[in-house]
Amino acid sequence: MLSILAAGSVFFPGLFLLSKQCLKSIPGLRWNEGDAAIVSARLVSSIQAIMASTAGYIISTSCQDIIEDQHWLTSSYILFAVPYFVYDIYAMFLCYWYKLQVKGHEVDNGSKSKAVALRGYLRREFLMILHHVVMVTVCFPISVFWRQGKGDYFQGVMFLAELSTPSVCLGKILIQYKQQHTLLHKVNGAVMLITFFLCRVLLFPYLYYVYGRYASIPFYRVPFTVPWQCNLGAALLMAPQLYWFSLICRGALRLFTGSSSQKFLNQDKHFLFEAL
């Protein structure tokens, strides 16, 4: 267990540092520190999402009995991915810090400026930080210990929620470099809208439906049959997904109808692609 946690603790920060160094030194790129750090953070998030989705597909397609069947990759990937959420809190702060410097809000690298930036970061990214903290302090022990080896299929399907993350990260990069007018941005927005809806919004209704079929009970009776902790956990995880999806829908409507104003873009471009 400790060796897998250690591997994840080295892999994700190491990949971030390696990517940042490459972007700064490769001839023809030579990006500055801020741009390299921001793009590297998006790259690491995308790679983690691809790994999680791959693991989820392998697990979910390998479990015939959705309750009893187990797959070694389930607990192993959970342990490997936990350090990512800790690392990503710091990576998001770095992105926020460099964005402030680009905007000219913070020109001093002293401790006072960083303290001000930290307060702004905690206030603006509160929901995402809370999501990451809950993943480490609540979802991790529940998934590894409380389940007692039951329901690997459900855990695998939940990994598939990460399928929407690469398009979210690409959208952030396109916005960062003011490419909202491009066809790529519109295509990526459509992909993000579809994958987010299928993999995150419909996630728990699908899991309830699958369990209803397994237990031979109607869909509407499933919430009254499963333990209350499952209903509470599903509600808490579902709430931010619905909020983020509403922002994505609002941004997509403006994007595809062509009615977005510059004021709207400046106001919503940050929130639109924070669904992670």
| Residue 119 clears pLDDT 70, i.e. is over it | yes
Rounded CA-CA distance 172/272 in Å is: 9
| Residue 194 clears pLDDT 60, i.e. is over it | yes
Sequence-separated (6 or more) residues with CB below 8 Å from residue 93: 117, 118, 121
260 vs 123, higher pLDDT: 123
Provide the 3-class DSSP secondary structure of residue 78.
helix
pLDDT on residue 275 = 37
pTM of the model: 0.84
The Cα-based distances of 163 to 73, 157, 194, 276 in angstroms read: 18, 11, 10, 10
Rounded CA-CA distance 91/13 in Å is: 9
| Residue 97 clears pLDDT 50, i.e. is over it | yes
pLDDT on residue 5 = 93
Give tens-digit pLDDT for 2-47: 899 999 999 999 999 999 999 888 877 677 888 889 999 999 999 9
Continuous H helices in the chain: 2-25, 33-62, 72-103, 111-124, 126-134, 140-141, 152-159, 165-176, 183-196, 203-215, 222-225, 228-257, 262-272
Rounded CA-CA distance 219/44 in Å is: 38
Asked if 164 contacts 189 with a C-beta cutoff of 8 angstroms, the reply is no
Give tens-digit pLDDT for 38-93: 999 999 999 999 999 999 999 999 999 999 999 999 999 999 999 999 999 999 99
Rounded CA-CA distance 104/101 in Å is: 5
| Mean pLDDT across 111-122 | 79
pLDDT on residue 262 = 41
pLDDT on residue 48 = 96
Nearest residue to 40 (alpha-carbon basis) of 14, 59, 66: 14
User: What does pLDDT average to over the chain?
Assistant: 85
